Amino acid sequence: MKPGRVYLIGAGPGDPGLLTVRGRDCLRAAEVVVYDYLANPLLLREAPQAETIYVGKSKGLHHLPQNEINALLVKLARQGKIVARLKGGDPYVFGRGGEEALCLAQAGIPFEVIPGVTAAFAAGAYAGIPLTHRDYTTSLGLFTGHEDPAKKLSTLDWAKLATGVGTLVFYMGMSNLDTITRELIAHGRAPQTPVAVIRWATLPAQQTLVAPLCEIAAVVAAAGFKPPAIIIVGEVVALREQLSWFDRKPLFGRTILVTRAAEQAGEFSAMLQDLGAQVVECPTIRLDPVADSTGLDAAITALPDCSWLILTSGNAVRFFFARLAALGLDARALGRCRVCAVGPRTAAALRTFGIHADLVPPDYKAEGVVEALVPRLQPGEKVLFPRADKARDVIVSGLSGRGVEVLAPVLYCNTLPATLPADALAALEAGGIDAVCFTASSTVENLYTILGAAGFHRLLAPLAIAAIGPITSKSCTKLGLPVAIEPAEYTLKALAAALVSYYSA
Ligand code: SAH
């Protein structure tokens, strides 16, 4: 049997983008991933091939005992597995990675350690606090604040560290914050020394409290702050006033429900996350290729007779080229047929298949397509419009009314999921969502069907409703939801910008 191997990987502090490239490569190579409470589960997307084993806290209960985790790693490696042991932050900083590595070394199991961005460094960076600065401090210490009640804080030499170290960072110190601050003051640290407590650093849920050493414990208690949080003590904390950037992002602190079809949500979500928002994805439609493609295939065969191909979404582009490929064809099947894309996103999707759209109407919707194409078509000409099963009738009726023959086979179908994803429903029920974005009428109508009229109104009425354009807005109003946010241009980018102006108003 091939020998197994264990990669002790630092997952970083939370933001999945802070995993190292080496860490990602090891996850991609893993057969099993053993992960912790503080390792962002989104990182598991890097290891779809692997079995995953969660060894973190569940519902407040403490994790699998450390000796059992050690034994698990040894057992898996002895089965010949490539094991990714994913730990929050850095594996060797207060993460018991040292114990796991010793256990592997003693068992003779090959292992590698991939460092990660530790919480102290991440919290400093994302809260706008340089942990060292020539004018303020030349030393930095990392300490454990021992949340484990079985251990005593008295293992720290307060007399030495209170004045001997410039910047002090405490991990796991929340339940002992009062003791920590009192000991530091009692041993000579100035009571006015600024302190920052940063919770869920680097994630959209990041929260920061700043107060003098003599007051911070009371401030934190009053705010009901809970772990995980990092405590930074030192003059450098004052720099946050000038250097904070993460929590100044325009959508920081907002939680936004994104209702696009699962296949397309990623890009829009990334856009909102970049603006600082916390995104909860809630697909309301699943897109499937048409089950019976006879009509579609016949229309594709007729392509040489068509003067235009009309595609009205990125999905239409992807499903269309997928069907061409299934038929053993490619972009050359278009021959001299020109291509109309409903908007810039659709045009961009076309470019990934090597097609430059001949026409993108100035008005990015079906009406715009009709208006732009009418002067370019003679009666009797043929166009191909492969469409979604629930597409509006505008293009077909608009063009055939001018004597144009419109081939409009169904290309893909919208399927309604039976329920919402559990995390989205829980967030809605808990009042944890600020705004919901609708990017098509179907997303509104589907959500209505999935939640039922009563649930739809109860859960969505308190939210800010954002719709991509007037048609989607109308569908919202028709179902009793007043729309607060609607961009002038019907694009995702414009919708994101409209959310920003709504929240900065
Ligand atoms: N190995 C980890 C630390 C594990 S100990 C690392 O290198 O970061 C767990 C403690 O880390 C928590 O109690 C908290 O103090 C800190 N921590 C981890 N992730 C954090 C985050 N995103 N924000 C704030 N503190 C965090």
User: How much is the pLDDT for 416?
Assistant: 86
Q: 186: domain CATH number? A: 3.30.950.10
Are 200 and 224 part of one and the same domain? yes
Are 263 and 381 part of one and the same domain? no
Give CA–CA dist 113/87, Å, rounded. 11
Are 240 and 312 part of one and the same domain? no
**Distance (Å) of CA 2 to CA 43, 237, 394:** 27, 51, 62
> Which residue from 384, 398, 369 is spatially nearest to 295, judged by alpha carbons?
384
To 10 degrees, the CA torsion angle through 53, 207, 484, 266?
Answer: -30
User: How much is the pLDDT for 32?
Assistant: 97
Contacts of 41 (CB under 8 A, 6+ apart): 35
User: How much is the pLDDT for 163?
Assistant: 95
Give CA–CA dist 459/374, Å, rounded. 43
Give CA–CA dist 164/472, Å, rounded. 62
Best of 38, 63, 117, 206 for a ligand 1 pocket test (most atoms within 8 Å of beta carbon): 38
Give 205's DSSP letter.
T
Best of 148, 208, 230, 232 for a ligand 1 pocket test (most atoms within 8 Å of beta carbon): 230
Q: Which residue has the tokens 């990987």?
A: 9
Q: 62: domain CATH number? A: 3.40.1010.10
Q: Is 88 in the pocket of ligand 1 (CB under 6 A)?
A: yes
User: How much is the pLDDT for 23?
Assistant: 97
Catalytic residue numbers, as ranges: 36, 57
Give CA–CA dist 501/505, Å, rounded. 6
Are 270 and 345 part of one and the same domain? no
Give 378's DSSP letter.
-
User: How much is the pLDDT for 262?
Assistant: 62
Are 13 and 159 part of one and the same domain? no
Atom of ligand 1 nearest to the CA of 171: 15
User: How much is the pLDDT for 493?
Assistant: 94
Best of 94, 100, 121 for a ligand 1 pocket test (most atoms within 8 Å of beta carbon): 94
Give per-residue pLDDT as tens, 327-361: 999 999 999 999 999 999 999 999 999 999 999 99
Residue nearest to atom 6 of ligand 1 (CA): 89
Are 132 and 244 part of one and the same domain? yes
Boundaries of domain holding 90: 5-117
**Distance (Å) of CA 152 to CA 173, 177, 218:** 12, 13, 22
Residue nearest to atom 2 of ligand 1 (CA): 89
The answer to whether 35 and 86 have CB atoms below 8 angstroms apart is: yes
Q: How far does residue 247's CA lie from ligand 1's centre (Å)?
A: 19
Q: Is 13 in the pocket of ligand 1 (CB under 6 A)?
A: yes
User: How much is the pLDDT for 300?
Assistant: 96
> Which residue from 135, 128, 83, 90 is spatially nearest to 109, judged by alpha carbons?
83
Atom of ligand 1 nearest to the CA of 14: 22
Taking only Cα atoms into account, the Rg of the chain, rounded to an integer number of angstroms, comes to 28
User: How much is the pLDDT for 285?
Assistant: 79
Are 127 and 243 part of one and the same domain? yes
Cβ-count burial 19-36 (b if 16+ within 10 Å, e if not): bbeebbebbeebbbbbbb
Q: Is 38 in the pocket of ligand 1 (CB under 6 A)?
A: yes
The answer to whether the predicted template modeling score (pTM) of the entire model surpasses 0.85 is no
Are 165 and 82 part of one and the same domain? no
User: Which tokens in the block code for residue 305?
Assistant: 């007779």
Residue nearest to atom 24 of ligand 1 (CA): 229
The residue out of 92, 117, 142 marking a domain boundary is 117
- What stretches in the chain show pLDDT beneath 70? 1, 58-63, 147-154, 262-265
Q: How far does residue 295's CA lie from ligand 1's centre (Å)?
A: 57
Give CA–CA dist 279/204, Å, rounded. 9
Q: Is 124 in the pocket of ligand 1 (CB under 6 A)?
A: no
Give CA–CA dist 463/486, Å, rounded. 14
The residue out of 362, 386, 414 marking a domain boundary is 414
> Which residue from 350, 332, 341 is spatially nearest to 373, judged by alpha carbons?
341
Q: 276: domain CATH number? A: 3.40.50.10090
The residue out of 363, 396, 414 marking a domain boundary is 414
User: How much is the pLDDT for 150?
Assistant: 60
Give CA–CA dist 17/194, Å, rounded. 30
**Where are the strands (E) in 365-481, listed by range?**
382-384, 387-388, 405-407, 410-415, 435-438, 464-467
The answer to whether 195 and 219 have CB atoms below 8 angstroms apart is: no
Are 137 and 217 part of one and the same domain? yes
Are 409 and 292 part of one and the same domain? yes
Q: How far does residue 120's CA lie from ligand 1's centre (Å)?
A: 7
Are 424 and 368 part of one and the same domain? no
The answer to whether 257 and 428 have CB atoms below 8 angstroms apart is: yes
Are 156 and 88 part of one and the same domain? no
Number of domains in the chain: 4
Atom of ligand 1 nearest to the CA of 97: 1
> Which residue from 22, 54, 49, 53 is spatially nearest to 37, judged by alpha carbons?
54
Atom of ligand 1 nearest to the CA of 91: 1
Contacts of 426 (CB under 8 A, 6+ apart): none
Residue nearest to atom 13 of ligand 1 (CA): 172
Per-state percent for the chain, helix, strand, coil, to nearest 5: 40, 20, 40
> Which residue from 142, 162, 233, 222 is spatially nearest to 194, judged by alpha carbons?
233
Work out the burial of residue 380: count CB atoms within 10 Å of its CB; fewer than 13 is exposed, 13-18 middle, 19 or more buried.
exposed
The answer to whether 408 and 302 have CB atoms below 8 angstroms apart is: no
Q: Is 230 in the pocket of ligand 1 (CB under 6 A)?
A: yes
Contacts of 38 (CB under 8 A, 6+ apart): 11, 13, 14, 56, 87, 88, 89, 228
The answer to whether 296 and 410 have CB atoms below 8 angstroms apart is: yes
The answer to whether 317 and 349 have CB atoms below 8 angstroms apart is: yes
Give CA–CA dist 259/425, Å, rounded. 12
